[in-house]
Chain A
Amino acid sequence: MTMARAVASRRSFLGHSYNLVGVIASLIILAWTLIAIFAPYIIPHSIGDIVDDDYFGPMRQGLWLGSDYLGRDMLSRVLMGARYTVGISLAAVAISCFSGVVLGMIAAVTGGWLDTCLSRFLDAMNSIPSKLFGLVVVAAVGSSIPVLILTLAVIYIPGAYRFARALAVNINTMDFMTVARVRGESTIYLIGSEILPNIIRPVLADFGLRFVFIVLLLSGLSFLGLGLQPPLADWGALVRENIGGLPFAAPAVIVPSLAIASLTISVNLLIDNLPKKIRDRDA
């Protein structure tokens, strides 16, 4: 293999090859994640503090991102917003993907009436519009972080289930599944050791996509007033509460919008540019 030469736009590392867009996208995601983790230690003001006499104040020294509709420091609110947006969405997507994927794999492996019942039921759940579902739940039990996480998770379980089941059904027809079955392996082994490693990449891509949907749905719920309790606010709620500042292009509304877009676009780009495993190692 003496002819080998690297192609400029892709680099390899640890047996995977990366491209520039994917690297930039993952850096943005990493940055927001770090902010989400360390936000309480780096915010200049408490998010409830009213520090500006004006509202929708412009960017200036001390208030780097201006002030919001109550005169609170926007920088602090956006940084803390990352915590809620990223945290809630991540928790919700983790729950929904975990449950959906496990159920999907079980349905595919087991088949029969369990598969039929699960598929029917989750399909029915899927037909309820997500925002209206959120509305009913929040009206019923009030809005809190656990309720939001669970609601968002439940909304996206059917999708994750469908996706994982379709993948798992394909894997299930493979001969190695038959070999494992004839060996006498349990369902847990079949789904955990035989199927999961084969669908993990598309499942992760789906995880990312679903994360984006959840971020958007969370901001949609916030827009409808079903989001977090004040003074906590995720980015969607920040956009919502400051939308009055849009006509003046107030940073209070522009910045959280950009934050949402930067996160969702990065995740999407990362999915499209996931590192590829290099398969042609030299012998």
Chain B
Amino acid sequence: MKSGVLNLVLKRLAITVVTLLIVLFAVFFATSMLPGDTASILLGQAATPEAVAGLREAMHLNDPAILRFLRWLFGLLHGDLGTSYANEMPVAQLIGGRFVNTMELAGITTLLSVPLALTLGITAAMLRGSIYDRTVTILSIGIISVPEFMVATLAVLVFAVYLRWLPALSSVNEAHSLTDLVRIYAMPVITLTFVISAQMIRMTRAAVIETLSTPYVEMALLKGASRSRMVLKHALPNALGPIVNAVALSLSYLVGGVIIVETIFNYPGIAKLMVDAVATRDLPLIQSCAMIFCLGYLLLITAADIIAIISNPRLR
């Protein structure tokens, strides 16, 4: 039984590595297609052929791109993310702080949104057809239908500009106390919670409702079980697979999909870093960011699979 889970984890890890390689190659080819290179971008309007050639030489950009890519890949094996073309800092150092920021934002959003979404989804399923259920359903449809930049911009205008309750920028470095932390994270977290919760609520509700129609839930009813017991003890454990999957998909958005929130709140995360990296054609940085997004996604999906398997005795 245990070795089964272990085997599965190992298999999933192997798949993760393969997928990662596919993504890295795909990103590499996409990046190679971009017009201009770091040297010409940095020189901008003054990018005369001689100047570009000189800078390219100075930046060691003359090697074929594929060679540089393979070199970077090789360095990765040793845990070295390479050196940024644009500013010659180690990529690890550039990403480091921002990665922590992204993880913090993702973590806090997760802590808020997952319990909230699961509670709403499960209670809506329990009270299926009630006013409460309809309200939750309509609200989640409403939220899912509004572009996130609207939510974010409105939040800034209301809470930062007019009410002045919260700062318009999320400068993570200024958090000295818990109150600061709450104030700084409030708006981005709320915006992201809006964005990712709706889908989780819908999926949770659907999954629980589906299991509620199984014979074993009817059996529980015929044993005299209360509604909450039927849902929590019988339906929920068996709906866990799809729910965890939906949660993982939603959370994967928090790693790379938060570019709009990062832009509006000027939050220094890795999505914006990758945008900057694309702007300067900074291959090692682009690759490293892409790798983080891909890894985040794969880890979440794998974790969801493993949770689903562990929660289901038939698959163990």
Interface residues of A in 24-74 (CB under 8 A from B): none
Establish whether residues A246 and B30, one from each chain, have CB atoms under 8 Å apart when the complex forms.
Answer: no
Once bound together, how far apart are the Cα atoms of A128 and B253, in whole Å? 10
Establish whether residues A247 and B278, one from each chain, have CB atoms under 8 Å apart when the complex forms.
Answer: no
B15, B150, B154, B271: the one contacting A132 at CB < 8 Å is: B271
Establish whether residues A257 and B19, one from each chain, have CB atoms under 8 Å apart when the complex forms.
Answer: no
Establish whether residues B34 and A120, one from each chain, have CB atoms under 8 Å apart when the complex forms.
Answer: no
Interface residues of A in 217-242 (CB under 8 A from B): 219-220, 223-224, 236, 239-240
Q: Contact mask A108-135 → B, CB, 8 Å, 1/0? A: 0000000000001101111111111001
Establish whether residues A220 and B142, one from each chain, have CB atoms under 8 Å apart when the complex forms.
Answer: no
B133 to chain A, nearest CB (A): 12
Q: Contact mask B195-223 → A, CB, 8 Å, 1/0? A: 00000000000000000000000000000
Nearest B residue to A134 via CB reads B259
- Asked if A94 is at the interface (CB within 8 A of a chain B CB), the reply is no
Once bound together, how far apart are the Cα atoms of A75 and B255, in whole Å? 38
Once bound together, how far apart are the Cα atoms of A211 and B137, in whole Å? 19
By CB atoms of chain B within 10 A, which of A124, A126, A264 has the most? A124
Residues of A contacting B101 in the complex (Cβ-Cβ under 8 angstroms) = none
Residues of B contacting A224 in the complex (Cβ-Cβ under 8 angstroms) = 259-260, 263
Establish whether residues B259 and A268, one from each chain, have CB atoms under 8 Å apart when the complex forms.
Answer: no
Establish whether residues B145 and A265, one from each chain, have CB atoms under 8 Å apart when the complex forms.
Answer: yes
Range for the number of chain B residues in contact with chain A: 35 or more
Establish whether residues B141 and A239, one from each chain, have CB atoms under 8 Å apart when the complex forms.
Answer: no
Establish whether residues A131 and B30, one from each chain, have CB atoms under 8 Å apart when the complex forms.
Answer: no
Q: Contact mask B8-32 → A, CB, 8 Å, 1/0? A: 0000000100111011001100110
Once bound together, how far apart are the Cα atoms of A121 and B253, in whole Å? 19
Nearest A residue to B279 via CB reads A139
Nearest B residue to A121 via CB reads B22
Contact A243:B278 (CB < 8 A) given known A124-B19, A128-B27: no
Nearest A residue to B286 via CB reads A136
A244 to chain B, nearest CB (A): 10
- Asked if B293 is at the interface (CB within 8 A of a chain A CB), the reply is yes
B270 to chain A, nearest CB (A): 10
A239, A268, A272: the one contacting B145 at CB < 8 Å is: A268
Residues of B contacting A219 in the complex (Cβ-Cβ under 8 angstroms) = 147, 149
Residues of B contacting A272 in the complex (Cβ-Cβ under 8 angstroms) = 137, 141
Q: Contact mask B141-158 → A, CB, 8 Å, 1/0? A: 110111111100110010
Q: Contact mask A123-162 → B, CB, 8 Å, 1/0? A: 1111111111001110111000000000000000000000
- Asked if A212 is at the interface (CB within 8 A of a chain B CB), the reply is yes
Establish whether residues A128 and B290, one from each chain, have CB atoms under 8 Å apart when the complex forms.
Answer: yes
Once bound together, how far apart are the Cα atoms of A212 and B15, in whole Å? 31
Establish whether residues A239 and B147, one from each chain, have CB atoms under 8 Å apart when the complex forms.
Answer: yes
Chain B interface, DSSP helix/strand/loop, else mixed: helix
A63 to chain B, nearest CB (A): 23
Establish whether residues B34 and A220, one from each chain, have CB atoms under 8 Å apart when the complex forms.
Answer: no
Count contacts on A: residues with CB < 8 A to the other chain. 38
Establish whether residues B30 and A265, one from each chain, have CB atoms under 8 Å apart when the complex forms.
Answer: no
Contact A132:B275 (CB < 8 A) given known A123-B19, A261-B146, A265-B145: yes
Residues of A contacting B194 in the complex (Cβ-Cβ under 8 angstroms) = none
- Asked if B43 is at the interface (CB within 8 A of a chain A CB), the reply is no
B65 to chain A, nearest CB (A): 14
A132, A246, A260, A269: the one contacting B141 at CB < 8 Å is: A269
- Asked if A91 is at the interface (CB within 8 A of a chain B CB), the reply is no
B246 to chain A, nearest CB (A): 13
Q: Contact mask B254-292 → A, CB, 8 Å, 1/0? A: 011101100100000001001100110000000000100
Residues of A contacting B253 in the complex (Cβ-Cβ under 8 angstroms) = 129
A253 to chain B, nearest CB (A): 9
- Asked if A216 is at the interface (CB within 8 A of a chain B CB), the reply is yes
| CB pairs A–B below 8 angstroms (30 shown) | A120-B19, A121-B22, A123-B19, A124-B19, A124-B26, A126-B297, A127-B293, A127-B294, A127-B297, A128-B23, A129-B256, A132-B278, A135-B275, A139-B279, A140-B33, A140-B34, A216-B145, A216-B147, A216-B148, A220-B147, A223-B147, A223-B260, A224-B260, A239-B147, A239-B150, A246-B153, A247-B157, A257-B147, A265-B141, A272-B137
- Shortest 8 CB-CB contacts between residues of A and residues of B: A129-B256, A264-B145, A127-B297, A124-B22, A127-B294, A124-B19, A265-B145, A268-B141
Besides A131-B260, A264-B145, A268-B145, 19 other CB < 8 A contacts?
Answer: A120-B19, A123-B301, A124-B26, A126-B297, A129-B255, A129-B256, A132-B271, A132-B293, A139-B278, A212-B145, A216-B145, A216-B148, A220-B147, A223-B260, A224-B259, A224-B260, A257-B147, A265-B142, A268-B141
B residues with CB within 8 A of A: 15, 18-20, 22-23, 26-27, 30-31, 33-35, 137, 141-142, 144-150, 153-154, 157, 161, 252-253, 255-257, 259-260, 263, 271, 274-275, 278-279, 290, 293-294, 297-298, 301
